[in-house]
């Protein structure tokens, strides 16, 4: 409510023009990510985890060196992330009349960050362990990340601790099944 004269507040401070107020409200801050960005970031992390876990199972004994596996991790992650962001952006523009929404731009950045975080976490074993052990640890780490992510999402959604553990365990089981199916399909 404006009580002052000529568009000023009761204390004499100028009130922003209505269009300026709307612009300020439309810009989401990074401190409070939109739900869409959070969901897309979690989706990307899970997707990269599942694809990398399947790759570790499929590669198995065929991996020649830690360097080749690291290059594969990063190439796969970057390729998946860029393809997903491209598709996400194109679909978003399709449904918003050709305009890019600021929420979509933030979601794209969160997706890329999530993919990079997963690749970085999964790369660590290859820097310190022999190749065969690093493959096992990385495969376990990707599955564990799926379970931990499901647990964290459940807790953030207000689910109690014991039930959230169940959510994480079910997600872990589903991840193992997905990777197992991939391994069966990739077997000679």
CA 71 → CA 49, 119, 131, distances in Å?
16, 10, 14
Whether 91 is in a domain gets the answer yes
d(CA 102, CA 107): 9
Q: Is residue 22 part of a domain?
A: no
Burial class (CB in 10 A: 0-12, 13-18, 19+), 72: middle
Instruction: Write down the pLDDT at residue 30.
Output: 42
The answer to whether residue 7 sits within a structural domain is no
Contact of 170 with 149, CB cutoff 8 Å: no
Q: Is residue 137 part of a domain?
A: yes
18, part of any domain = no
Residue 125: inside a domain, yes or no?
Answer: yes
Give me the half-sphere count of Cα atoms (radius 13 Å) on the Cβ side of residue 120.
6
CA atoms lying within 13 Å on the CB side of residue 109: 9
> What is the predicted pLDDT for the residue at 1?
42
pLDDT score, position 14: 53
- Mean pLDDT, each 10-residue run in order, the chain (188 residues): 45 49 42 68 87 79 81 91 87 76 80 92 92 84 88 87 92 83 70
User: For the whole model, what pTM was predicted?
Assistant: 0.70
Residues 6+ apart with CB under 8 A from 156: none
The predicted structure's pLDDT at residue 7:
47
3-state secondary structure of 73: helix
The number of folded domains in the chain is 1
Q: What is the span of the domain harbouring residue 47?
A: 33-186
Supply the pLDDT for residue 92: 77
For residue 48, tell me if it sits in a domain.
yes
28 lies in some domain: no
């Amino acid at each position: 409510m404006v009580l002052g004269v000529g568009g000023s507040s009761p204390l004499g401070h100028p009130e922003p023009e209505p269009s300026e107020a709307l612009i300020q409200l439309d810009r989401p801050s990074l401190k409070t990510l939109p739900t869409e960005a959070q969901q897309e970031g979690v989706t990307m992390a899970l997707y990269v985890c599942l694809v990398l876990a399947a790759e570790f199972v499929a590669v198995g004994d065929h991996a020649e060196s830690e360097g080749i596996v690291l290059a594969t991790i990063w190439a796969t992650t970057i390729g998946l992330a860029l393809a997903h962001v491209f598709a996400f952006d194109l679909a978003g523009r399709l449904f918003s009349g050709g305009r890019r929404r600021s929420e979509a731009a933030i979601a794209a950045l969160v997706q890329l960050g999530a993919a990079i975080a997963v690749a970085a976490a999964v790369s660590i074993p290859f820097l310190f362990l022999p190749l065969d052990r690093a493959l096992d640890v990385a495969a376990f780490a990707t599955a564990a990340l799926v379970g931990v992510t499901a647990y964290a999402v459940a807790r953030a959604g207000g689910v109690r601790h014991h039930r959230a553990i169940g959510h994480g365990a079910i997600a872990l089981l589903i991840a193992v099944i997905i990777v197992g199916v991939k391994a069966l399909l990739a077997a000679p």
